[in-house]
A = this chain, B = another copy of it.
Amino acid sequence: MMDNGGFCNDNYHSLSSDDELVDISDVTVDFSEDVPPLIRDYSVGRSKADWRLHNSPKLMDLMDDTVPGIGTYEDFNTIDWVREKSKDRDRHREITNKSKQSTLALLFSVSDAFSGWLLMLLIGLMSGALAGGIDIAAHWMTDLKEGVCLNGFWFNHEDCCWTSNETTFQERDKCPQWKSWAELMVGVNEGASAYVVSYFMYVCWALLFAFLAVTLVRAFAPYACGSGIPEIKTILSGFIIRGYLGKWTLIIKTITLVLAVSSGLSLGKEGPLVHVACCCANILCHFFTKYRRNEAKRREVLSAASAVGVSVAFGAPIGGVLFSLEEVSYYFPLKTLWRSFFAALVAAFTLRSINPFGNSRLVLFYVEFHTPWHFLELIPFIFLGIFGGFWGAFFIRANIAWCRLRKNSCLGHYPVLEVLLVTLITALLSFPNEYTRMSGSQLISELFNDCGLLDSSKICDYSGSRTGSVNDTVSNGLADRPAGPGLYTAMLLLALALVFKMFITVATFGMKVPSGLFIPSMAVGAIAGRLLGVGMEQLAIYHHDWNVFRRWCSPGADCITPGLYAMVGAAACLGGVTRMTVSLVVIMFELTGGLEYIVPLMAAAMTSKWVADALGREGIYEAHIRLNGYPFLEAKEEFRHKTLATDVMRPRPSGPPLSVLSQSGMTVEEVERLILDTTYSGFPVVISHQSQRLVGFVLRRDLVISLENARRHQEGVVSVSAVLFTECDPPASLNAVPAVKLHSILDLSPFTVTDHTPMEIVVDIFRKLGLRQCLVTQNGRLLGIITKKDVLKHMAQMANRDPDSILFN
């Protein structure tokens, strides 16, 4: 019964220990040109700098791979987390061992240990600086649509008047140095002709900015479009998209983000900032061998970078870390938590020292009021949550339908035209309404604001607030007052803006320009919240004798804060679209800096998530991941169907049999034919085809490279040479031609499950261990194989979706 099949047992070797890689190690250098350029590009293979590093100091050769290309991945493929982590552990082990031998090695080991922290510092500094630059540039270019500064065209409106001496405190925005386009062209600032000129210039600039953005993206970095978060989620889960986080993407995304935001389109810079931070991280990783060479370690850094992105986008370092943990990351060890936090803080402080908004804050819409709220107000807050949930579900469905239409119709062939068209419509419709004309974050800032005594904006136009004498006003304090005519106009405009924003955002998100949806979503919610808040306020004023109001709203008291409603609405809508929970509440908490409003925010976020989940399980990012067919194994949702591994594995009962290699009975030609005939990314190795008893697993890529290498550099290898996956020498009879020994590329510890294993457990294993594939055995005999793609297809099928929507391995 005991068929050992020529496989000799040895006691001590692991996945990639050096001493076992010797058999083909005599050739290392001239193979590098055979590696496809893509690999060299993406830092897994060897760049030039890498080679230099690799060949000069003695220290580096402890990480020497034998055949270049082995252990790397192809584009649009999934990495093997277990292997990557093993590689890193091997590396660490060898550094530790060497560090006992010499002082230089000890120093190297210490610098290696601290390189992670240094990298985090650099990412924080770089991302903070870039975010500050983007803020300043976008501010200037947004103002450029209105007019220009005579003191220097590079000043924005505020800076222009700030440097001028002729402004008063009351009218900070008006100064002779700042000329609107109307003033420059027709000489007047008021009247119909001025309006027409301003309108025209506004539309022209918007079109120019949008055109530049979309052409730059198309010409230099197609990956720079969109928000980038769906792709980053997929990359973090172990997928490879070469160039997605490269330097061109970074440069073009930064420039076009400024252009897109300035063009007045309904989009935000917050999501793309995450992409920008990840690009920074990826580029900086190139300077640290530890991270350049290891896909798993690099993903830890990228997780931290996404925390950095949110940290600078909202000025919320803790919220950013939780966002990364909750929304983006896949593998997030505690070490990364601490480092992310560090990087997020560095970035926030870098941004603060740049001070792009001139208010020592990191965001435009910081909230400064601390008025209390009443328990009964939870009812409108929950109502806002319901609104947010409905809006989220509507937005996701409409946006996905629109994107699908774009993909499947001729619309997709004219991205530039589409962008210009949407920009034209946006600009034409938004200029007449001051609340759509201003930028998204300005609008949110205004809506979050609690009306002070000196506020001159329309939404603060309460009767009695400016007509009465100063004394009157002071005695009234900040009490709730009846609305004035300006407020009614403002409400009407806001209602129009709400409808406009809701529809135009659907068309905007997904176009070929960088576009985030945090700000548009929050704007929708903030408008809805402000409308409801003002409504409640007026209700309380006119009906303060109602039972509900009598207790907390005596006349002359400040009992309802419309700004708080706007904030709650913004949180609810953002929650509905993205399905964030803790991170959302923490981000909003950091915007307000107090625990006061955490209960309203939480009530709204919770309601919104429940409502939105009831209408459709997935958030906008998951929906886009699915739309693109990325192989993303969602960690949040549990697989609850009662299928077994045997139902999912290949070979299917009707399909072709499983392609396996036998450990010693095959020739080079047979193996090569198998490779040519199939497209599988790996093959199980068994003792013999007859017994089907599993020995290990070999990856197609490693096999191809090794065979080519052997054919080229190993003497006497011909088509009939035996391919040996065993460690011991072949029997004497076969010794006529030298055999190709491939024991070193064989993974001797493939993951196996039995055919009776429930799929829920298999899914859990894939998720938690980050597998690429898993072998299925029955009573010790190899039955089949399950790949990540199989799992995803099966999950899609069980959820009544099209299994062929999963495109990649």
Contact B756 A749 (CB under 8 A): yes
Q: Which residues of B contact A778 (CB under 8 A)?
A: 9
Contact A12 B89 (CB under 8 A): no
Q: Which residues of B contact A599 (CB under 8 A)?
A: 345, 349
**Does chain B have a CB within 8 A of A93?**
yes
**Does chain B have a CB within 8 A of A321?**
yes
**Does chain B have a CB within 8 A of A646?**
yes
Given the known A-B contacts A593-B593, A693-B780, A754-B750, are A646 and B581 also in contact in the complex, defined by CB atoms under 8 Å? Answer: no
**Does chain B have a CB within 8 A of A548?**
no
**Does chain B have a CB within 8 A of A764?**
yes
Of the listed stretches A25-33, A219-227, A637-645, name the one at the interface; the rest are far from the partner chain.
A637-645
Interface residues of A in 731-782 (CB under 8 A from B): 748-754, 756-758, 760-761, 764-765, 768-769, 777-782
**Does chain B have a CB within 8 A of A602?**
yes
Q: Which residues of B contact A606 (CB under 8 A)?
A: 342
Given the known A-B contacts A1-B690, A749-B756, A768-B768, are A89 and B779 also in contact in the complex, defined by CB atoms under 8 Å? Answer: no
Chain A interface, DSSP helix/strand/loop, else mixed: mixed
Interface residues of A in 632-674 (CB under 8 A from B): 635-636, 638, 640-642, 644-647
Q: Which residues of B contact A317 (CB under 8 A)?
A: 595, 598
Contact A14 B644 (CB under 8 A): yes
Contact A12 B644 (CB under 8 A): yes
Q: Which residues of B contact A693 (CB under 8 A)?
A: 779-781
Q: Which residues of B contact A581 (CB under 8 A)?
A: 337-338, 341
Given the known A-B contacts A12-B644, A82-B764, A593-B593, are A602 and B769 also in contact in the complex, defined by CB atoms under 8 Å? Answer: no
A39 to B748, CA, bound (A): 42
Contact B89 A640 (CB under 8 A): yes
Identify A764's interface contact among B85, B589, B590, CB under 8 A. B85
**Does chain B have a CB within 8 A of A170?**
no
Identify A326's interface contact among B12, B334, B780, CB under 8 A. B334
A134 to B580, CA, bound (A): 35
**Does chain B have a CB within 8 A of A586?**
yes
Interface residues of A in 414-454 (CB under 8 A from B): none
**Does chain B have a CB within 8 A of A585?**
yes
Fill in one digit per residue for A596-610: 1 if any B CB lies within 8 Å of its CB, else 0.
001100100010000
Identify A602's interface contact among B334, B345, B754, CB under 8 A. B345
**Does chain B have a CB within 8 A of A96?**
yes
A11 to B82, CA, bound (A): 30
**Does chain B have a CB within 8 A of A4?**
yes
A314 to B757, CA, bound (A): 45
Q: Which residues of B contact A349 (CB under 8 A)?
A: 599
From A89, A696, A782, residue with most partner B Cβ within 10 Å: A89
Q: Which residues of B contact A781 (CB under 8 A)?
A: 693, 780
- Look across to chain B and name the residue whose beta carbon is closest to the beta carbon of A589: B318
Closest CB in chain B relative to A655 CB, distance in Å: 17
Q: Which residues of B contact A89 (CB under 8 A)?
A: 638, 640, 760
A590 to B594, CA, bound (A): 9
A687 to B7, CA, bound (A): 23
**Does chain B have a CB within 8 A of A3?**
yes
Identify A86's interface contact among B17, B86, B348, B758, CB under 8 A. B758
Q: Which residues of B contact A459 (CB under 8 A)?
A: none
Fill in one digit per residue for A76-101: 1 if any B CB lies within 8 Å of its CB, else 0.
00000010011001001100100000
**Does chain B have a CB within 8 A of A675?**
no
Q: Which residues of B contact A594 (CB under 8 A)?
A: 593
A188 to B98, CA, bound (A): 74
Q: Which residues of B contact A690 (CB under 8 A)?
A: 1
Contact A318 B586 (CB under 8 A): yes
Q: Which residues of B contact A123 (CB under 8 A)?
A: none
Contact B694 A779 (CB under 8 A): yes
Q: Which residues of B contact A644 (CB under 8 A)?
A: 11-14
**Does chain B have a CB within 8 A of A497?**
no
**Does chain B have a CB within 8 A of A582?**
yes
**Does chain B have a CB within 8 A of A611?**
no
- Look across to chain B and name the residue whose beta carbon is closest to the beta carbon of A762: B749
Contact A769 B765 (CB under 8 A): yes
- Look across to chain B and name the residue whose beta carbon is closest to the beta carbon of A585: B341
Q: Which residues of B contact A782 (CB under 8 A)?
A: 780
**Does chain B have a CB within 8 A of A691?**
yes
Contact A761 B13 (CB under 8 A): no
**Does chain B have a CB within 8 A of A523?**
no
**Does chain B have a CB within 8 A of A15?**
yes
A433 to B390, CA, bound (A): 63
**Does chain B have a CB within 8 A of A382?**
no
**Does chain B have a CB within 8 A of A695?**
yes
Given the known A-B contacts A89-B640, A644-B12, A756-B749, are A82 and B779 also in contact in the complex, defined by CB atoms under 8 Å? Answer: no
Closest CB in chain B relative to A712 CB, distance in Å: 30
A387 to B460, CA, bound (A): 54
Contact A14 B769 (CB under 8 A): no
Fill in one digit per residue for A789-801: 1 if any B CB lies within 8 Å of its CB, else 0.
0000000000000
A779 to B752, CA, bound (A): 11
Q: Which residues of B contact A1 (CB under 8 A)?
A: 3, 690-691
Closest CB in chain B relative to A373 CB, distance in Å: 13
Contact B96 A640 (CB under 8 A): yes
A308 to B387, CA, bound (A): 30
Fill in one digit per residue for A352-377: 1 if any B CB lies within 8 Å of its CB, else 0.
00000000000000000000000000
Q: Which residues of B contact A760 (CB under 8 A)?
A: 85-86, 89
Q: Which residues of B contact A636 (CB under 8 A)?
A: 334-335
- Look across to chain B and name the residue whose beta carbon is closest to the beta carbon of A777: B780
A695 to B755, CA, bound (A): 10
Closest CB in chain B relative to A254 CB, distance in Å: 26
A640 to B753, CA, bound (A): 26
A14 to B761, CA, bound (A): 10
Given the known A-B contacts A89-B638, A334-B326, A768-B768, are A749 and B777 also in contact in the complex, defined by CB atoms under 8 Å? Answer: no
A335 to B778, CA, bound (A): 35
Q: Which residues of B contact A647 (CB under 8 A)?
A: 11
Contact A338 B764 (CB under 8 A): no
Contact A761 B779 (CB under 8 A): no
Contact B754 A758 (CB under 8 A): no
A82 to B590, CA, bound (A): 38
Q: Which residues of B contact A691 (CB under 8 A)?
A: 1
Interface residues of A in 560-599 (CB under 8 A from B): 581-582, 585-586, 589-590, 593-595, 598-599
A695 to B645, CA, bound (A): 15
Closest CB in chain B relative to A623 CB, distance in Å: 18
Contact B756 A748 (CB under 8 A): yes
Q: Which residues of B contact A321 (CB under 8 A)?
A: 582
Q: Which residues of B contact A764 (CB under 8 A)?
A: 82, 85, 769
Fill in one digit per residue for A52-87: 1 if any B CB lies within 8 Å of its CB, else 0.
000000000000000000000000000000100110
Sample 17 A-B pairs with CB under 8 A, ordered by A number. Answer: A1-B691, A4-B779, A9-B778, A11-B646, A17-B642, A82-B761, A89-B760, A93-B642, A318-B586, A326-B334, A341-B582, A342-B606, A345-B602, A590-B595, A696-B754, A696-B756, A749-B757
Nearest 3 interchain pairs by C-beta: A780-B780, A749-B757, A748-B756
5 additional contacts (CB under 8 A) given A12-B642, A93-B641: A13-B756, A86-B760, A337-B581, A341-B582, A345-B598
